[in-house]
Amino acid sequence: MGAGKYTKGCTGWLIVLVVAALVVTAIVLGLRKKAHHSDMGPVPGPPGAITQKYSDALSVALQFFQVQKSGKLVNNKISWRGDSALSDGSEDGLDLSKGMYDAGDHIKFGLPMAFTATVMSWTILEYGDQMSAVNQLDSALDSLKWITDYLINAHPSDSVLYIQVGDPDLDHQCWQRPEEMTEKRPLIQINKKNPGTEVAAETAAAMAAASLVFKSINSSYSDLLLQHAQKLFTFADDHKVSYTISFPKLQKFYNSTGFGDELLWAASWLYHATGDQSYLSYVTVQNGQSYADWGRPTWFSWDDKRSGTQVLLSRLNLFGAKQSTNAENKGLQMYRKTSEAIMCGLLPDSPTSTSSRTDGGLLWIDQWNALQHPVAASFLAVLYSDYMLTSRTPSFSCNGVTFSSSDLRKFAMSQADYILGNNPMGISYLVGYGDKYPQQVHHRGASIPASANTGCKGFEWLKSPNPNPNVAVGALVGGPFKNDSYIDNRNNSMQSEPTTYNSAVLVGLLSGLITTSSVVRSFN
């Protein structure tokens, strides 16, 4: 009888255990379904194992800035490039010979050039140790300073900023090497009478960010940059007029859709550079509601800095802003929430994911310069991923489904890999990387032999069916159509023209992917 009693009791407990196990299993499965990935992985320290393909691609991408340099070249490593535009600015007694040409032509446009410098600075601040580990930091610093030297000279007084060198209409009537330019190079300046808020603010952002980069390298240069940044921000904020209102003809080249984003972007960088609480109040309490479009994801670009600002300020919320007020912290929380909404739109498995992708998996927003948005978005994704790792933030939610930092990194890698050749065309869109890349890049200097003397009328080289005689190493072309196709034709500028600002965000993306590493908690 005792044996029978024991068996019944054991059976009862067994049933309880089985039921409990089923409950636990159901809970685990439910959590797995709800949480796409919950693993955070260890917080990395200094740069670890290098991913060679991204290191190689970074080395290639940085060379494009050497290709685009204007002025008297120093330690020139591009055999087919020489000195150019040496007299730029001379008509107003300035030296504006440095700086970089924005794309395949020879105009110096202030807004995209300053954006290039801001993004380069951000990359160096976050990923300088990774860049150094693969011997690319010095190259990046050289390119950055080539631009900031120009920006300093372009700001000769508090309320004057030269924002363009060259006449785009005249330039586009020529097909020539920059070394041969003889046409007039007129100057455009903004001032109190003809303001240009967004370009003044973007230049302030570039100088503030660069001041942090050079702080430990050249303190006097850093101080000079910061002085210029503060004066330019004051000028931009005191004279709120779009530069394309002051100069309507510029609308067909780099038309601005508004200046609120640049003011927030500049103030954010000035807060990081100075620690001055008034800049934090500016972006959170005073102007966040009106300029930031909290809760609405946008695409990061030379024209729209909102998503970049949101991610930049998220690092303050994740790492903690010193001595911030409750109102400022509330604003920072809104920036972080908006950043998470941006990330949710990028991840393919998110309930709020954008459906605008090619069959090959590339984010696709615009047929002109198609790679601009996926590269910039991926750069922000890598940054936010590393902010999460460093702050030990395990996940974020997209309409009830949670994702981790590794999901963001996986997405960014998918976009980088597409660009480097893992796409239906099997082509690398980064010129000089891999075995197959565009041969007819829309680029004047690359398309004309260095020995040719074409004058302004070298259009035979534009129309030539042959590959470019010079390889514009590091050029990131515009990219594919929505059906993943690419037409390698020099006249197809929609797809084949490279830009320095695209290269800047690509350098940022590749630098973040070289190795998994934590970012610094403070730029100061």
Active site positions, annotated: 442
d(CA 382, CA 405): 8
Cβ–Cβ < 8 Å for 439, 488: yes
User: Could you tell me how many residues make up the chain?
Assistant: 524
Cβ–Cβ < 8 Å for 474, 345: no
d(CA 479, CA 432): 15
Q: How is residue 282 written in tokens?
A: 């500016």
Cβ–Cβ < 8 Å for 430, 474: yes
Amino acid sitting at position 232:
L
Cβ–Cβ < 8 Å for 269, 305: no
Q: How is residue 298 written in tokens?
A: 């946008």
Q: How is residue 291 written in tokens?
A: 């300029």
Pairing of strands 108-109, 187-190: unpaired
The DSSP bridge partners found for residue 187 are 165
Q: How is residue 49 written in tokens?
A: 């194992």
The DSSP bridge partners found for residue 363 are 357
Number of H helices, E strands in the chain: 20, 5
